[in-house]
Amino acid sequence: MRSVLPARLLPARLLRARAAVAALAAAVILTGLSTVSTTTSAQAADPGPPRAADGFGLTQVGATVGTDTNFVITVTTPEVAGEHHIRILLPSDYAANATKRYPVLYFLHGASDDPGNPNLAYPALTATKKMITVVPDGGKRGWYANWLDQNTAAGAQNWENFHINQVIPFIDANFRTNATKGGRAVAGLSMGGFGSVHYAQNHPELFSQVGAFSGALDLSVGHLVMRAAVVATLTNVGAALCGASGPTCSLDFGPAVSSDAIFGSPYPVFNVDWRWNEADPSTHMDRLAGMGISLYTGNGDGDAANPELWAQSASEHAKERLDELGRPYHYVDYGNGAGWGGSCDGGHNYGCWAQDLVDFVPRLEATLVSA
């Protein structure tokens, strides 16, 4: 049996060693407690993306990716073949204000793009503290429409049903939105500019504000080059009118389908192209009565090979119709981009759209919040 000497009888050197061991043990314990406390605090501050419940025909698949205020969910729907990303941007104070409701901007991307592209979280959109932004998948060439032909190699293509009947009620059910016309806006770039005005014209009861940046706003017989751009995305032969927010635009739009797939025949013979004329935003601006309207365009520096030159003429036609109707609107033509931010060259690209949003978002927020 080992004897234990009282502390007063232990050598001073041994006492010092024992004290050092005790101090070290205490430090380890305190460090461990501190680590646990810090981890818990960090978890509380960043709980990760909120969970949304399936519904309205949408089924979530895979993991939600991102932060608590900027994340992407993936869904499937019988309305459109395949899996589809929806990017959701929440205000920075969303979690802290558990009873506050926010207006919503539905932001529609361009051809060849995907909400999984982080560039679609434009700085002006992520900086807002006053509204929620939702970027739903519109397909690489979905054109924000229910296709006439549902039996192509692309499968089901009811994009308007997907967005209007499923995505909007899904967002309203899962997030604290101001689910009224006055609290809801739609805007988009390029193909999405067509989509935003098209949706606002078809569903004026849903939106109080509409915006188009370099929008494909004229599908009439007077703007056949825009029709040709749409057809090129369908037949997959390549197209200059791309709306990718990244530095390059993929010309792979998916399996080739008929030029008649979305709106029927695009050829202006014996009125067989009547569906194109019906879908043309520029000739139906009267349907936006009472809405706030914002249109932005450049001129591609006057280069006929630059798709922004086409977007400019399409936007001008929409503006001319608004002038005929005597309707108010906010119209910006920044030409070659000089003085329009530091990265805009007047072209059909991210640098110009980012500055469009710098101008658009504060005005939109002020209107939506006041509503």
Do 40 and 59 belong together in one domain?
no
Q: Report the domain count for the chain.
A: 2
pLDDT at 245: 80
Q: How far is CA 67 from the centre of its chain?
A: 16
Answer yes or no: is 123 within a domain. Answer: yes
Answer yes or no: is 366 within a domain. Answer: yes
Residue 304 CB contacts under 8 Å (≥ 6 apart), including other chains = none
Answer yes or no: is 213 within a domain. Answer: yes
Do 34 and 134 belong together in one domain?
no
Query: Mean pLDDT of successive 10-residue segments in the chain (371 residues)?
Result: 41 43 36 35 63 97 96 98 98 94 97 94 95 97 97 97 98 98 98 98 98 97 89 80 73 89 95 96 97 97 87 97 98 97 95 97 94 77
Q: Which amino acid appears at position 245 of this protein?
A: S
Answer yes or no: is 320 within a domain. Answer: yes
Do 212 and 86 belong together in one domain?
yes
Grouping H, G, I as helix, E, B as strand and the rest as coil, residue 219 is coil
pLDDT at 334: 97
Answer yes or no: is 60 within a domain. Answer: yes
Do 40 and 60 belong together in one domain?
no
C-alpha span between 202 and 210 (Å, rounded): 12
pLDDT at 222: 83
* Distances in whole angstroms, Cα of residue 250 to Cα of each of 112, 205, 213, 238, 253: 6, 35, 20, 9, 8
Do 195 and 97 belong together in one domain?
yes
Do 22 and 71 belong together in one domain?
no
C-alpha span between 6 and 8 (Å, rounded): 5
Secondary element (H or E) of residue 35 = helix 12-45
Do 55 and 23 belong together in one domain?
no
pLDDT at 240: 58
pLDDT at 46: 61
Residue 344 CB contacts under 8 Å (≥ 6 apart), including other chains = 298, 334, 337, 351, 352, 354, 355
Do 286 and 260 belong together in one domain?
yes
Do 177 and 247 belong together in one domain?
yes
C-alpha span between 18 and 229 (Å, rounded): 82
Answer yes or no: is 156 within a domain. Answer: yes
Q: Which amino acid appears at position 117 of this protein?
A: N
Do 18 and 167 belong together in one domain?
no
Do 36 and 108 belong together in one domain?
no
Do 149 and 59 belong together in one domain?
yes
CATH number of the structural domain spanning residue 185: 3.40.50.1820
Answer yes or no: is 1 within a domain. Answer: no
Answer yes or no: is 2 within a domain. Answer: no
* Domain carrying residue 39: 7-44
